[in-house]
Amino acid sequence: MKINNSPTVLEIDSKAIQHNLRYFKSKLNLETKLLVVIKAFAYGSDSVAIAKILEKKKIDYLAVAYANEGIDLRKAKITLPILVLNPQKENFDLIIDYNLEPNLYNFKTLLSFKKLAENRNLKEYPIHIKINSGMNRLGFKNYDLNKLKNYLKELDHLKIRSIYSHLAASEDPQEKDFTQQQIYDFYQMSDALIDVLNYKPLRHISNTSGIINYPEAQFDMVRLGIGFYGFGNNKSETKNLKNVCNLKTKISQIQTIEKGETVSYNRKFKAEKTSKIAVIPIGYADGINRALGNGKGYVTINDQKAPIVGTICMDIIMVDVTNIECKEGDDVIFFNNQEHILDFAKNTNTIPYEILTSISQRVRRKIL
């Protein structure tokens, strides 16, 4: 068992998780199933801890990006169905061994998994078929359908658990026509595939923004991603949600520097007066983007903002606390609400997803 007594901790708020689940469930029809995406360590938090909460809440499905993420969940005794979004042929045997459900998105993956299922004499092993309705990542396209229908008639050892697609711009009101066309195309394409089956798989296309903006596109199931972790597709929706992850640490040392002295690598910060500088044990190896240095980012100490000064180091940042009453050992908040995370995303020209998923696995996790 690894011991981690670092003062730097990512707190995961289980009450916030439950609040966000209730909020999105309130938007769903009673019969609509819910899949929660917990890839990338559950968006940088703790996939096993999150999965255990979701299992208790009787969520219908989980989704991960790669087989190893699903295997970790199975080893932690998670029994919920798990969709592997990018299964990769070399992991097909492991996927079967750990009862994971692969997304099959082209003829190569479909035929490879079909052959393996036959060799292992599987019976109705669950698979998922991905349709490319306009995202142009993984998935069968419209011109594949006739050939695909013929293959689907011969899946004696497999059973399609779901047919699904992904919305490319559901958060963007300027792309409403495109999104509605995607939904229509998915409806038509999935209907064509279901026509050759003697059963009805689940259908799903909506992500978080789809749930919010396109309630007519719920089909049989929806996939909840960033919304689960506290972010809607606009400020008003985000206000209805609670922040799940809080990144905190403590002051290691406070330095007094004189006018003209500099701080950190390449002397990017030069004191214009006698200043107090707090040294904080967190850096870019923990997921703090170097672009937040030199005043672009800040931490909160005793309810006051302390700007990051100088260059962010691998394990350390420095902040200006000249006007803040504080001492070594005091709490430092890097973020504990959506506003902080959105600020950092804006200042580094990225999105909240990247801020969250960048938090290193060496940062201690704690469930509240």
Tens-digit pLDDT string for the chain (368 aa): 566 678 899 999 999 999 999 999 999 999 999 999 999 999 999 999 999 999 999 999 999 999 999 999 999 999 999 999 999 999 999 999 999 999 999 999 999 999 999 999 999 999 999 999 998 999 999 999 999 999 998 888 999 999 999 999 999 999 999 999 999 999 999 999 999 998 999 999 999 999 999 999 999 999 999 999 999 988 889 999 999 999 999 999 999 999 999 999 889 899 999 999 999 999 999 999 999 999 899 999 999 999 999 999 999 999 999 999 999 999 999 999 999 999 999 999 999 999 999 999 999 999 98
Alpha helices, H only, 145-260: 145-152, 176-194, 208-213, 235-239
Token output for 324? 């803040």
Q: How far apart are CA 192 and CA 194, in angstroms?
A: 6
**Rounded to a whole number, what is the distance in angstroms from the first to the last CA of the chain?**
21
Is 56 marked active-site?
no
Is 39 marked active-site?
yes
Provide the pLDDT for residue 3: 65
Q: Which amino acid is at 125?
A: Y
Provide the pLDDT for residue 235: 87
Which member of 265, 327, 346, 366 is catalytic? 265
**What CATH number does domain 31-224 carry, 3.20.20.10, 3.40.228.10, 3.30.930.10, 3.90.1720.10?**
3.20.20.10
Provide the pLDDT for residue 154: 86
Where exactly are the structural domains of the chain? 31-224, 245-367
Q: Which amino acid is at 272?
A: E
Which member of 39, 242, 248, 250 is catalytic? 39
Token output for 292? 């937040």
Region for 88 from its dihedrals, namely left if φ exceeds 0, alpha if ψ lies in -120 to 50, beta otherwise = left
* Residue 108 burial by Cβ neighbours in a 10 Å radius (0-12, 13-18, 19+): exposed
Provide the pLDDT for residue 2: 64
Q: Which CATH superfamily is domain 245-367 in?
A: Lyase, Ornithine Decarboxylase; Chain A, domain 1 (2.40.37.10)
Provide the pLDDT for residue 6: 80
